Amino acid sequence: MQNTQWSRLEAMMALLSPTARNGTGPLARLMREGGLHCVFQPLADLREGCIYAHEALIRGPKDTPLHTPDVLLDLAQQEGILQDFELLCVFKALSQWGRHEAPGRLFVNISADALVHGVALVGPDQLGETVRSFGVSARMLVLEITEHERVTDMPQLRQAIKAVHACGARVALDDFGDGRSSLRLWSEVKPDFVKIDKYFVHDISDHPENLQMLQAIKGIADVFGTQLIAEGIETSDDLRALRDLDIPFGQGWLLGRPAPAPREAVDGPALEVMQDRRVAVLPHLGQTARPGILRSLLVVQAPTAAPGTSNDAVAAMFHKHQGLHALAVVDGTRPVALINRQQFMNHYATLYFREVHGRKPCIAFANNAPRVVELDCDVDQLVGILTSQDQRYLSDGYIVTDNGRYLGLGTGDQLVRAVTETRIEAARHANPLTFLPGNIPISLHMQRLLESGTEFVACYADLNNFKPFNDHYGYWRGDQMIRLVARLATAHCDARRDFVGHVGGDDFMLIFQSSNWLQRCKNIVHDFAREAITLFDEPARQAGGIQAEDRHGVQRFFPCTTLAIGAVRITPGRFRHAEEVANLAAVAKHEAKQAATGVVLYGGFTESSLGALAATRALQDVLAA
């Protein structure tokens, strides 16, 4: 067997370049002496929790400077034998894998140019037979294209990949997203697999931006029909998040480290995560300021004046366009000033104005510091107009430009409406007071739980007697109390298992997968009662409450504010839509507000009556308001 392996190595070396066969560099000598070997790292099926494949990773002699692949690749570049080295690595991987006779696919790294050279070396028609000669089924081989150098001939690469597919083997694209990988290469190669660079995987449970990037990559994979593999999985939290994102395959130290022989199962901690049906609490990315908000607004296509346009001509334009609130003064395509209709016409109507100023340039009666807003501005820039001390911006409106060129005018009422709508939409994603997820993320998380078939507990938390407190002490202290609820709920919930959302006002949703949810809720209620009392003044603390007006304007006594939590246990298959869960949780909240304990597990109604009961409660709320 040893002689056969040595003979095959000599035959392989004979196919390589004279530099590799005769070179005096340390790598060339190592290649000829058979000093390279492969270790194998598992790739797991994240849905099934089993080993799907192994990747062959090249190594030099242990306990030497030539052991790591990075050093070997650097030497290959220096000695001018990079393609020879890559082809020998493929040879080593096939040789060792064939001896193990292990099930599953084998991933082998190779650059695009080395793949083209290798296919040409053995012949496209002989590729499958060459792979099988190592005792490896071609259909179980995946050639993983790396980009240590750029593709020099795309048509030749396409032909090489055609030969790979013809023999039954598959193609993967390595390290997508690392800066060297190319979306065009993905489109051109149409790989069967794409490996997502570990940058987007590491600590994904704490980085909502990377989560969104992964979702975008998933969308591209769906377009091309590509299977995704997440690299660099090192923590249980990241594995759980990737599994719940429905990334099909993964690789990383948590699943299994590289070893001389293939393994039959993933490591225990990873297997526990994949078998645990609890859903990950994915990182939340609030709705941030939307660039291009003006694109959704009506921009007034108004005529313009030049700096030298006469006041008489401006007056004529205002007479012709009765609905025009202002007129932009534009020098070429660049806006330089703004003329307010009302102010200008008041001047124009004064005695002797036409005779003295009628033929003079209008720039003298214009606002030379108008508010100019780019079409692609974000909402924070628009808020700056509303909060500016110079309120001319609301009456004059503002000038809209596209890449610095005059486009039209915007009005103050449009501005107020746009900012209000944008803030409302943002609050549905992230509450601006507590920064907790708003209604949309709450609903999305509940829907994921329902679709996963996971049992969970939905809790609706609300404050008793909050309105009198807020009216009595003012909104500033009211906000303090709401932030107190947010802080305590977040502190007592398991960030990896439980979801805390802020519906709005003093209403919160707590969605538990923790088995000790009831104790957590009791702790929140207890700590709130202990800390909230400090927000009342001393006389109120002594009296146990405050005198305030009720909803009908009648003065009466209200006990100190407490927290009520209504809970409902959601079992698999009971509901299909998040709205149904939210309605039932709202009913549970009403029951909790009437209970002395502060926490009520609701479950006294059949599902057929829940919709009617929720509607009744909602109507009661409207009438009470």
99 confidence band (pLDDT: 50, 70, 90): very high
What's the confidence (pLDDT) of residue 418?
64
DSSP labels, 468-517: HHHHHH-HHHHHHHHHHHHHHHHHHS-TTT-EEEEEETTEEEEEE-STTH
pLDDT value of position 619: 39
Measured in residues, the chain has a length of 625
Rounded to a whole number of angstroms, the CA Rg of the chain reads 35
The pLDDT, as a whole number, for residue 549 is 86
As a whole number, mean pLDDT of residues 129-137 equals: 94
Q: Return d(Cα 252, Cα 235) in angstroms, integer.
A: 9
396 or 574, greater pLDDT: 574
pLDDT band at 394 (very low <50, low <70, confident <90, very high): low
Inform me whether the pLDDT recorded for 433 exceeds 80: yes
Supply 239's token pair. Answer: 């594995």
**In whole numbers, what is the pLDDT of the chain averaged over residues?**
86
**What's residue 123's pLDDT?**
92
d(C-alpha 349, C-alpha 352), whole Å: 9
Contacts of 325 (CB under 8 A, 6+ apart): 340, 341, 395, 396, 397, 409, 411
pLDDT of residue 625: 40
Indicate if the alpha-carbon torsion angle 520, 524, 526, 530 is positive or negative: positive
Highest mean pLDDT among 178-187, 195-204, 509-518: 509-518
pLDDT of res. 573: 87
Q: What is the mean pLDDT of residues 212-236?
A: 90
Lowest mean pLDDT among 80-89, 347-356, 371-380: 371-380
Q: What is the pLDDT of residue 287?
A: 45
Top pLDDT among 223 and 81 is at: 81
pLDDT reported for residue 305: 93
618 pLDDT band, cuts 50/70/90, is very low
pLDDT at 381: 61
Residue 622 has pLDDT above 60, yes or no: no
pLDDT band, residue 386 (cuts 50/70/90) = low
Q: How many CB atoms lie within 10 A of CB 70?
A: 7
Query: pLDDT grade, residue 427 (50/70/90)?
Result: low
pLDDT at 293: 52
Structure tokens at 279: 């859903």
HSE of 147, CA atoms in CB hemisphere, 13 A? 21
Residues 276-296: b if buried by 16+ CB within 10 A, e if exposed: eebbbbbbbbbbeeeeebbee
Grade residue 465 by pLDDT with cuts at 50, 70 and 90.
very high
What are the tokens at 115? 């793949």
Supply the pLDDT for residue 370: 86
Q: Is the pLDDT of residue 389 over 80?
A: no
**pLDDT level of residue 179 (50, 70, 90 thresholds):** low
Name the more confident of 429 and 86: 86
Between CA 540 and CA 544 the distance in angstroms is 6
pLDDT per residue as tens digits for the range 276-314: 878 878 776 554 444 445 555 667 888 999 999 999 999
Q: Which carries the bigger pLDDT value, residue 328 or residue 411?
A: 328
Q: Read off the pLDDT band of 426 (50, 70, 90).
A: low
CA distance 304 to 62: 77
Please give the distance of CA 325 from its chain centroid, rounded to a whole number.
Answer: 42
pLDDT band at 252 (very low <50, low <70, confident <90, very high): very high
Going by pLDDT thresholds of 50, 70 and 90, the confidence category of residue 188 is: confident
Return the higher-pLDDT residue of 414 and 432. Answer: 432
Helix, strand, coil % in the chain, rounded to nearest 5: 50, 20, 30
pLDDT band at 400 (very low <50, low <70, confident <90, very high): confident
Asked if residue 310 lies in contact with residue 354, where contact means CB atoms within 8 angstroms, the answer is no
Overall average pLDDT of the 347-372 stretch: 91
* Rounded-to-integer distance, Cα 342 and Cα 349, Å: 11
pLDDT digits (tens, 9 = 90+) for 136-177: 999 999 999 986 456 788 899 999 999 999 999 999 998 887
pLDDT attached to residue 423: 58
**What pLDDT, on the 0 to 100 scale, is given for residue 85?**
94
Predicted pLDDT at 291: 46
Give yes or no for residue 254 having a pLDDT over 70. Answer: yes
Percent of the chain exceeding pLDDT 70 equals 86
- pLDDT digits 0-9 by tens, 505-552: 999 999 999 999 999 999 999 999 999 999 999 999 999 999 988 888
The whole-number average pLDDT for the span 60-79 is 92
The pTM score is: 0.66
| The predicted structure's pLDDT at residue 204 | 84
Instruction: Evaluate whether 375 touches 400 at the Cβ level (below 8 Å).
Output: yes
Mean pLDDT over 219-229 rounds to 90
